[in-house]
Copies of this chain bind each other. A is one copy, B any other.
């Protein structure tokens, strides 16, 4: 039987203190449901007294019928000079109808007198009476000891006395907070041990990442006897964020032998992490531990050839254990083995022993030397391999394009692009404006293709990146453009273009993106609607 560590998620409360993190009530409800599926034990939903949005969440959360997690409210100890019974915020917590609550109080003497402006004794009473009041109302009470570690370092007796009072008042948990995120693992370890010796109540840990140590500090606390870890999905939170539960959970469960969430649910970790990014409208960082796109991506040629022999050689866990997948990157640093593996992933029959295989490998190397980079442009890579294998049919060819930009005096820049393509022997000639040359070209190309493939409307660009490749003679040097496209947000693919001319490089990437979107859809070209397109004046016979 593995020892259980309880997971307390505060994405919906502390997480939203992060810069750029903002969640509607609907967003919060969606995330709560997902967290319950993952198997966390507590979901801190907000501070009922602080704003109407948080109160609405608690009222609507009851309809979620969560299977596993307890919806938990957040609040503070009573204000000084009022009784707990008369404290508006404590009463709002009762009103919210939750079964569990975390209330925070001060542990650091300096904070009591400086920030709060009351006496050390009154602070102890505030803690005791608030916890007792909530316990009498039948709630499970987590006492959050704010600034506990800093407080302990300055005045250990007083810090211990604050949690002793919470314990005496009947708190179910004492959650020790490294509020400023400045503590080091050995300090956490030592101080948690001391608290365990001083009070019988189960201990929780709440860390911030200001020293890039929040995960390590959480693990150190568990090793010293804490049985609850507070944190957030992806480490969202004020300043540098909270302890990232997406890393805490697999470390505890896969490496240290604790039970956190059901083993089967651990496979939802990658999916859950990305879901939360999606809802919060934040791009997931590729490098994120365990769940990032790059977490099991291999670039160095030597690593790749070893991985092909045995995955254990360069992977600390099996990617499937957390629902992630292995990837092999194609790049200048890599040898043939990367290329072959990548092709295999794409179900392409690339064989280095066949002449066309060797020709493709040679071509990729030459293109990389010219500045192409395929690790971020898998769609362009697939097109290139398919062409080399003779497994590609061109749906359209480009006859010409033209871009005109003009600015006179204080007027806005006028940008116009014309595109002439050939589909099945018919010339389509379109013109469009845009708020820049690439946008105008994109619009004109799309207009031309739409005449044949109305479904192309689903597709749009989601990212556009430009990189100058060498710095000598800057505006005459080569640029690499990466374009990312999606089909209704469901899937996405990236393409690349390289040229000394930023517009030509962009055009190349746009064309590849369009070609990839049309892969295997050549048959649909029969769905021509010449009358329609003729009416729009874009078809020239």
Contact = CB atoms under 8 A, between A and B. Distances in A.
A409 B212 CA distance: 54
A346 interface: no
B502 A466 contact: yes
Interface in A273-290: 281, 283, 285-290
A295 interface: yes
Interface stretch (A382-390, A433-441, A523-531): A433-441
A207 to B, nearest CB: 11
A184 B476 contact: no
A76 to B, nearest CB: 8
Given A461-B473, A473-B461, A438 B502 contact: yes
A420 to B, nearest CB: 9
A294 B208 CA distance: 13
Given A20-B376, A115-B313, A437-B437, A474 B463 contact: yes
Contacts of A434: 475-476
B471 A463 contact: yes
A316 B207 CA distance: 13
A424 interface: no
Interface in A206-236: 209-213, 215-217, 219-220, 223, 235
Contacts of A409: 399-400
Contact of A298 (B223, B238, B468): B238
Interface stretch (A161-169, A262-270, A299-307): A299-307
Given A210-B316, A405-B402, A501-B415, A185 B182 contact: no
Contacts of A290: 210-212
Nearest to A331: B22
A193 interface: no
Contacts of A114: 306, 309-310, 313
Size class of the contact patch on chain A:
35 or more
Interface string A112-134: 00110000000000000000000
A178 to B, nearest CB: 9
A117 to B, nearest CB: 9
A460 interface: yes
A468 B436 CA distance: 13
A211 B251 contact: yes
A91 interface: no
A472 B484 CA distance: 11
B24 A470 contact: yes
Nearest to A417: B405
Contact of A186 (B212, B223, B250): B223
Nearest to A181: B316
A54 to B, nearest CB: 10
A336 interface: no
A196 interface: no
A477 interface: yes
Nearest to A466: B466
A255 B217 CA distance: 15
Given A313-B111, A438-B502, A471 B180 contact: no
A316 B20 contact: no
B400 A406 contact: yes
Contacts of A285: 285
A302 to B, nearest CB: 8
Given A17-B299, A212-B289, A468 B476 contact: no
A535 interface: no
Given A209-B289, A464-B475, 11 more contacts: A26-B472, A182-B255, A211-B215, A211-B251, A211-B316, A213-B216, A239-B295, A400-B406, A403-B403, A436-B501, A436-B504
Interface of A: 16-20, 22, 24, 26-27, 50-51, 110-111, 114-115, 179-182, 184-186, 209-213, 215-217, 219-220, 223, 235, 238-241, 244, 247, 250-251, 255-256, 281, 283, 285-290, 292-300, 303, 306, 309-310, 312-317, 329, 331-333, 373, 375-376, 399-409, 413, 415, 434-439, 442, 460-477, 479, 483-484, 499-504, 506-507
